[in-house]
Amino acid sequence: MADSKSDDPSISVIVPVKDSARTVRDLLDSLMKLEYDEEKLEIIFVDGYSVDGTQEIIEEYPFELIAEEGKGLNAARNTGIRHTKGEIVAFTDGDCVVPPNWVTSIAKNFKEPGISFVGGMVKGYHESDFISTYMDETYFQVKPGFKGRQVVQELYLLNFPAGCNMAFRRDALEKIDFFDERIDHGFDDLLPVEELSDRGFSLVLDPDVLVYHQHRTNLHALLKQHYNYGRGGTLLLVHKSSSRLAHWFSTYLVFSTFAICLFAALMLINFYIPKMLPLNFGLGFYTFGFLILISLYTGTAIRSRSLRKVLIYPVLDIARGLFFTWGGVSELLRIIRRKI
């Protein structure tokens, strides 16, 4: 551990986990190497009743392990907050790996007294895996995309941080009643950041605050992840309809659902009336969109000397979008059925 510095804030690292046995040991090993004063650092794991041996792995290490008080990722985050005391509350996930200077980089930003939140960058841990690399190179990112350190009062969609690499000043979190436990699956981590920005708090986005994330490495897991993101978007829309994130998601959901339905109708009608010019024009429009995606990834493919990315990346983009929309629509229908 690094030498103590009197002006360093006390930091509580909270890690929500559930059935993370496959990845959590890598995180645990990296947390053991953190360069920060031990007297000002506490690390706590909050387990959502894992059944795959996650708890047993964590118990091999000198970190506190407690059970989640509630249900869902935000419930686990709130449980961790209640059981810690640090001035700064930092979060990462059980499928991440943190560099030795992670906490030090967070603390450096909070030495400015007006800063209430710090969000960092996320990079893929498995550099040789195709799908993991795709998640780092896609133009439709679900992880932070900001360039250079920024101090802002308002966040835009592409500048939002990720829940696996964020830190809050505790007293700022208290002012927004911590994390909303009704939001789950996706957008759960972004809402409190938006609420802080709405109240005029200063926020830092710093690419030097870096974690490595073990992205999904197979197609099924990737599509399931984005399906769940869509479900979370609908929960956000239902419970926090006035938020900017909810407005963005509702716009996306309406547009994407309309586009999918229109495409399906064109395909069906064109099957029976193949020579109708308007229908062929419509299908040509979708083909043109796919060609634009191909052109976007041409440079990426050339730089990485992997020409298959030109065709596979656009297909993965479209598949992710479809499952994201499907998740949102299915959750909305689920909610409607419960109310009927």
Q: What is the mean pLDDT of the chain?
A: 91
**67-88 pLDDT tens trace:** 999 889 999 999 999 999 999 9
Ramachandran category for residue 177: left, alpha or beta (phi over 0 → left; psi -120 to 50 → alpha): left
Rounded Cα distance, 60 and 49, in Å: 17
Q: Tell me how far apart the alpha carbons of residues 51 and 54 are, in angstroms, rounded to a whole number.
A: 7
* Amino acid identity at 11: I
Q: Which residue has the higher pLDDT, 157 or 168?
A: 168
Q: What is the DSSP string of 226-240?
A: HHHHHHHHHHHHHH-
Contact 280, 270 (CB under 8 A): yes
| pLDDT in the model for residue 1 | 42
Confidence of residue 153 (pLDDT cuts 50, 70, 90): confident
Q: Give the distance from CA 73 to its chain's centroid.
A: 12
Q: With 50 as the cut, is the pLDDT of residue 251 above it?
A: yes
pLDDT the model gives residue 59: 97
What is the percentage of the chain residues whose pLDDT exceeds 70? 95
Q: Which two tokens stand for residue 217?
A: 């490495």
Give the pLDDT band of residue 273 (cuts 50, 70, 90).
Answer: confident
* Mean pLDDT score, 12-37: 97
Please give the pLDDT value at position 147. 80
Average pLDDT over residues 135-161: 81
Q: pTM, whole model, 2 decimals?
A: 0.90
Which residues fall within 8 angstroms of residue 172, CB to CB, at 6 or more apart? 116, 117, 196, 201
When computed from its CA atoms, the radius of gyration of the chain, rounded to whole angstroms, is: 22
DSSP 154: S
In this predicted structure, which of 85-94, 207-216, 271-280, 304-313 has the lowest mean pLDDT? 271-280
* Statement: residue 3 has pLDDT above 50: no
Burial 240-254 (b: 16+ CB within 10 A, else e): beebbbbebbbebbe
- Bridge-partner residues for 151, per DSSP? 204
Residue whose token pair is 């409607």: 336
Q: How far apart are CA 138 and CA 48, in angstroms?
A: 31
Q: State residue 158's pLDDT score.
A: 66
Confidence bin at 2 (pLDDT 50/70/90): very low
Instruction: Give, as one character, the DSSP assignment of residue 53.
Output: S
Quick one: pLDDT band at residue 160, thresholds 50, 70, 90? confident
Neighbours of 27 (CB within 10 A): 25
Q: In a 10 Å sphere around its CB, with 0-12 CB exposed, 13-18 middle and 19+ buried, how is residue 100 labelled?
A: middle
Q: Tell me: the pLDDT tens digits for 170-211?
A: 999 999 999 999 998 888 988 999 999 989 899 999 999 999
Model pLDDT, residue 52 = 95
- 279 pLDDT band, cuts 50/70/90, is low
Residue 334 has pLDDT above 90, yes or no: yes
Angle ∠(195,243,183) on CA atoms, nearest 5: 80
